[in-house]
Structure 1
Amino acid sequence: MSRPSEIYETLSPTRLFFKYAVPNMISMAVISLYMIADGIFVGRFIGADALAAINLVMPFVNMSFVFSDMIAVGSAVQIAIHLGEKKELEASRIFTTCSVLIVAFSVLIGLAGFFAIGPILQLLGADAAVTALADSYVKVYALFAPLIMVFFAVDNYLRICGRTRYSMAVNVGTSLLNIAMDYLFLGVLHWGIGAAALSTCIGMTLGTFLSYAPFVRGKLPLGFVRGRISLRLMRNILFNGSSEFFTNIAGSVMMLVFNGVLLYLAGAMAVAAFSVVMYVDSVVISLLYGMTDSMQPAISYSYGAGNRRRMLAFEKRVLLAGALIAAAAWAALRLGGGEILALFLKNED
């Protein structure tokens, strides 16, 4: 097992970028491709109303993850800094405290989502059919919340410990399992929209257990330990994760506004069309997020170790790669937008 110091201090910036960023970009892209497959199965096997229902509730699903993301990203920054300072016990305390805190938050969010989603959908002005579909979809997520909200958080912790390939294998395997279950539940058994959420939750729950297994077995620099972290450190964690929190909240609010306007002006079919745009957008965002998120531990470790030159070298590679991805995405959408739209909807829709 390579220790963080062996990875972050000795590998060249370019080699470390490809070792960390590329596997995580692949895993995040596969997760997004699963979401696209989910949208295709829902649109093809259930219909445009179901696709509109998912797009209506997706902002709320995303918002339910913002608290766990804030804690996960903020704690990942502090863990990497403490490892750079050679304070491994304190890093493990942060890991333990934040893992427990995310689960506690997820229980509260799951309860709120289960009981509040119906009235919220009525306020948006959705018709009865779409509201019923959306309600069924969200309640499955709410029941699984304590098990699935830590899934993306533990991914951060695996990368800090140098287990990028294991993280990629878990994410890719989970996504492929989700696609298979989606097809079985929707295409073969015709179970309805709740089954689409169920396949996602089963896959993510399995991914959570597989991701935490190396930490439980004591195979990594981080592990579950006793002890508390200071309030000052907790404030730093929340501050470091606040940018992630506000970015995700802003995106979710934007989707809510767009959905409300589209429902008012053109009905469920317009929301279904917008959902296709958001599915495609998620692939590009996942590539950018996967790249930046994977390099965060290296940048934070270099900051903690006082190596500013190495930190800037990582940042330059991230910015250049991000510009290239954005340019490629623009070209692909300009050339093939119509063909992409046709994948999601039945011919009669």
Structure 2
Amino acid sequence: MRVRTKDMTSGSPLRLIFFFSLPLMLGSVFQQGYMIVDSIIVGRGVGVEALASLGAADWINWMMLWAVHGFTHGFSVRIAQEFGAGDGKRIRKAAAMITLLSVILGLALTVVGLVAVDPLLRLLQTEETIIGGSRVYLYVMFAGTLAVFAYNMAAAVLRCMGDSRSPLAAMIVAAVVNIGLDLLFVLVFHWGIFGAAIATVIAQACAFAYCLLVMRRLPMLQLDPEDWKIDREVLRDLLRLGTPPALQNAIIAVGGMVVQFVLNGFGFVFVAGFTATNKLYGVLESTAIAFGYAMTAYMGQNRGARRPERIDAGMRGVIVLSVCFSLAISVSMILFGRSILGLFVSSDAANAAQVIEIAYRYLFIMSCPLIFLFFIHAYRSSLQGLGNMAVPMWSGVVELVVRIGVALLLPRLMGQNGIFFAEIAAWIGASSFMMVYYYANIGRIKREINAESR
């Protein structure tokens, strides 16, 4: 097992960002692949109502997952900056404090999630025909929050030290485990939605175990008893970095739950079609997320190394990559999306054609302005890597307001199809907000970095 870290403070920014992102893209493909397989196996092996149950649980589940991701992503910015500065002692102290915070927050979120499942499903007026399956899925997923937190923490630390290959390998392990257990638990043991959920939790635990083995081989992460002593200053800084992204993601998820509330009023067939496309959402977003991770590491390392002259070149590089990849993905989804969506529903199922038609309509609308989703991740992650957590958090508020406004208004004006525009309107609003801030303030940010290096 060869471990590679990457110094991103020298060399071609576009080349660095692309090759750093490549393993992360592949990792996302495997991650999204096993999540899609979950839905395919449940949809075809259990039925349309079971697929709708997963859909009704989606935004509640994402609220937890995104909160976990927000905390760990924010914590890792400190690692990127210390790695850029070349300070091994401070890296070890940060890693120890991140581990302690991850355990505490993981346990707290587990309790909160389990208590909130039933009230949230009732609040969203989930149909009685599908609420039982949604409840089972969420209980199992939230019970496994600590495993999810552990994997995301370990992967974020490795990424910010320039290692994007180990998270890829961890996702391959997780995908193989998850798909194998899906087939066993759902199709052989007939555990239904419970089997799909427990397979996902076990897969996340296996991914963490792999990352832990990698981290134990890195000299900069060989922690001593001294590193575990509580450092309140480091803990405060980690919470300063991690809390805004977690709140930002939770705020975004609240907007998604309002969309789900409106959606639940359209019946389980519409929910099932919407769910099928939402399962492909991860494929649409996976490359954008990979570029975002790369920009957090790139900007964080250059911020720590006091190299502000590399900021503009890095941003130009990620914009070029975003335009090229978003266009390729959009065209692919428009041309082949209907065939892919057909995998989620058995052709023998009642309402199968209706479900696929609803799903493709949503996929087409979502694919056209995909570049704005890439812009969200490029600018949000760049600002976070530079240590600015407030503006990305406020962009989450913009997403919330726009998503809720469109979800509540457009269905009244144009019927059920109006709900399809809530997501893309939120992308456009949030990305525009961050782009205006970034270009209005990047000169000041670079001057501040220059002043620190004197």
Q: Could you tell me the TM-score, scaled by structure 2's length?
A: 0.71
Q: Does structure 2 conserve the Cα–Cα contact (< 8 Å) formed by 1:182 and 1:195?
A: yes
- 1:250 positional shift: 4.2
**How many Å separate the matches in 2 of 1:61 and 1:329?**
26
Q: Is the CA contact (8 Å cut-off) linking 1:75 and 1:95 kept in structure 2?
A: no
Q: How far off its partner does 1:167 sit?
A: 2.0
Which structure is richer in relative contact order (CA contacts within 8 A, separation 6 or more)? 1
Q: 1:258 to 1:163 in 2, by over 3 A?
A: same
Give, in whole Å, the separation in 1 of the partners of 2:322 and 2:219.
30
- List alignment gaps of at least 5 residues for structure 1: none
Structure 1 residues 216-258: Cα deviation after superposition (integer angstroms, max 9, x where no partner): x353423432233344x54543444456335523442233122
Note if contact 2:8-2:162 (Cα within 8 Å) is conserved in structure 1: no
* Distance in structure 2 (CA, Å) of the matches to 1:322 and 1:246: 26
User: Which residue type is aligned with residue 228 of structure 1?
Assistant: I
Supply the distance in 2 between the matched residues of 1:101 and 1:155 (Cα, whole angstroms): 15
What CA distance in whole angstroms lies between the structure 1 residues aligned with 2:220 and 2:231? 18
Moved more, 161-170 or 245-254: 245-254
Q: State whether structure 2 residue 90 is matched by structure 1 residue 102.
A: no
Q: Distance in 2 between matches of 1:126 and 1:108?
A: 26
Q: Which residue of 2 aligns with 1:229?
A: 231
Q: Which segment is superposed worse, 309-318 or 239-248?
A: 239-248
CA distance in 1, matches of 2:28, 2:160: 17
* Post-superposition offset of 1:333: 2.7
Report how far residue 32 of structure 1 moved: 0.9
Aligned counterpart, 2:383: none
Counterpart contact for 1:43–1:50, Cα < 8 Å: yes
Q: Report the CA distance shift for 1:9/1:199 in structure 2 as closer, same or farther (over 3 A).
A: same
Q: State how 1:112-123 maps to structure 2 within 5 Å.
A: 112-123=112-123
Rounded Cα–Cα distance in structure 2 between residues aligned with 1:102 and 1:212: 14
**SS of alignment partner, residue 291 of structure 1:** helix
**Cα distance change, pair 338–229 in 1 and its aligned pair in 2 (3 A):** same
Which amino acid is 2:44 matched to? R
Q: Hey, what does 1:187 align to over in structure 2?
A: 187
Q: Which amino acid aligns with 1:96?
A: A
> Match of 1:248, as an amino acid?
N
SS of 1:7's partner is coil
Counterpart residue type for residue 28 of structure 2: M
Q: Which residue of structure 1 aligns with residue 290 of structure 2?
A: 290
Equivalent position amino acid for 2:258 in 1: V
The corresponding residue for 2:257 is 256
Q: 1:321 to 1:250 in 2, by over 3 A?
A: farther
Contact 2:3 2:217 in 1 (8 A): no
Cα gap change, 1:315 to 1:230, in 2 (>3 Å): farther
* AA of the residue aligned to 2:26: I
| Cα distance in 2, alignment partners of residues 201 and 2 from structure 1 | 26
Aligned residues: 345
Name the CA distance, whole Å, in 2 between partners of 1:103 and 1:66.
17
1:134 — aligned with what? Answer: 134
Contact in 2 for aligned 1:21/1:295 (Cα 8 Å): no
RMSD: 2.3
Paired position in structure 2 for 1:245: 246
Identity of aligned residues (%): 24
Partner of 1:59: 59
The answer to whether the 8 Å contact 1:117/1:135 transfers is yes
User: What is the TM-score of this pair, normalised by structure 1?
Assistant: 0.90
Structure-2 residue corresponding to 1:12 = 12
Instruction: Give the aligned residue type for 2:87.
Output: K
Q: 1:203 to 1:10 in 2, by over 3 A?
A: same
Structure 1 residue aligned with 2:429: none
Q: Distance in 2 between matches of 1:344 and 1:84?
A: 45
Kept after mapping to 2: 8 A contact 1:56/1:259 = yes
Q: Whole-Å Cα distance in 2 between the matches of residues 196 and 333 of structure 1?
A: 26
**1:283 positional shift:** 0.8
2:317 maps to 1:317: yes
- Counterpart-to-counterpart distance in 2, 1:9 and 1:116: 44
Structure 2 unaligned regions, length at least 5: 352-454
Range 284-293 or range 238-247, more displaced: 238-247
